[in-house]
Amino acid sequence: MLKISGLNVFYGHIHALKGISMEIKQGEIVSLIGSNGAGKSTTLGSIAGLVPSQSGSITFLGKDITNIPPHSIVKLGTSLSPEGREVFPALTVQENLRLGAYIKKDKAKISESFERVYSLFPRLKERTKQTAGTLSGGEQQMLAIGRALMSEPQLLMLDEPSLGLAPNLVLMIFELIESINRQGTTILLIEQNASMALSISHRAYVLETGSISMAGNSKDLADDPRVKKAYLGIR
């Protein structure tokens, strides 16, 4: 579904992605783990068309999407829930969700998307008229994921969905990610919480200072002594 080949990204003289290659197949949950500053958000930004790349290529459903504008990439069927949620605090839950469907014109399709999001997140349905800034951290995270789902993406990219959430909410968010995947959405997940990410994903890539250092199925990676030591806090 998605293929990245030899991608290089520079921010001025900082070489943030050093020729990375990775692949995501339809129906998978793939996680990308790595320490702070490894280049995880940059990878998502490049796929979403928000961060320009200097060389290499990204193809999605057979089309070259390298450096095309973000709205064109959303139209092709990808969507990003950014780190830090970035919901619009003064807008209501419903208005935030509506913005996620900005590429759609068909009213019936938009209401179907609302239905899907509200059935996944009943907490949002109870709060349609509440402004996003007054939601709890967990609810804002649900809203950010819900907004990304409003364009009915085939590939949903989630940047640190568990960041700053209490343990019970972390569990809930991960269960929701699994249900979204079971409904047919392919997922690329970035997480600091490597142990949770590896437990729900099929495959994973480890990013270290801009390079992919390990890749494989998530269960094998979770058992790898190097991953255990560096990312799971197990010695």
Going by the DSSP 8-state scheme, the letter that residue 103 receives in this structure is T
- Is 16 a binding residue for ligand ATP by CB under 6 A? The answer is yes
Q: Per CB under 6 A, which region of 19-27, 33-41, 69-77, 142-150 contacts ligand ATP?
A: 33-41
* 93 vs 198 by CB, closer to ligand ATP: 198
Rounded-to-integer distance, Cα 166 and Cα 89, Å: 21
Among 4, 7, 39, 158, binds ligand ATP (CB under 6 A): 39
Q: CB-side exposure of 159: number of CA atoms within 13 Å?
A: 21
**Window of 39-47, 62-70, 125-133, 219-227 that interacts with ligand ATP by CB under 6 A:** 39-47
Tokens representing residue 117 in the block: 């999001």
CB of 40 to ligand ATP, least distance (A): 3
Asked if 85 contacts 138 with a C-beta cutoff of 8 angstroms, the reply is no
Q: Footprint of ligand ATP on residues 189-218 (CB under 6 A)?
A: none
Residue 168 interacts with ligand ATP (CB under 6 A)? Answer: no
The CB-of-42 to ligand ATP minimum distance in angstroms stands at 3
| Residue from the set 38, 74, 143, 158 that interacts with ligand ATP by CB under 6 A | 38
What three-state secondary structure class fits 197? helix
Indicate whether 11 belongs to the interface with ligand ATP (CB under 6 A).
yes
40 binds ligand ATP per the rule CB under 6 A: yes
Residue 85 found at the interface with ligand ATP (CB under 6 A): no
Could you say whether residue 37 binds ligand ATP (CB under 6 A)?
A: yes
Question: Does residue 140 touch ligand ATP according to CB under 6 A?
Answer: no
Residue from 14, 166, 171, 234 in contact with ligand ATP (CB under 6 A): 14
Q: Which stretch binds ligand ATP (CB under 6 A): 29-37, 85-93, 136-144, 195-203?
A: 29-37
Instruction: Return the residue of 24, 34, 185, 189 that touches ligand ATP, per CB under 6 A.
Output: 34
Please, which residue, 117 or 157, has the CB nearer to ligand ATP?
Answer: 157
Angle between helical axes of 107-120 and 93-100 (0-180°, round to 10):
120
Q: How far is CA 108 from CA 93, 95, 101, 105, 112, in A?
A: 19, 17, 12, 9, 6
- Is the Cβ–Cβ distance between 70 and 48 less than 8 Å? yes
Residue 215 to residue 13: CA distance in whole angstroms: 27
Residue 129 has which token pair? 């008229």
Give alpha helix (H) positions in the chain. Answer: 40-47, 70-76, 93-100, 107-120, 122-125, 137-149, 167-182, 194-200, 218-223, 225-231
* Chain positions contacting ligand ATP, by CB under 6 A: 11, 14, 16, 34, 36-42
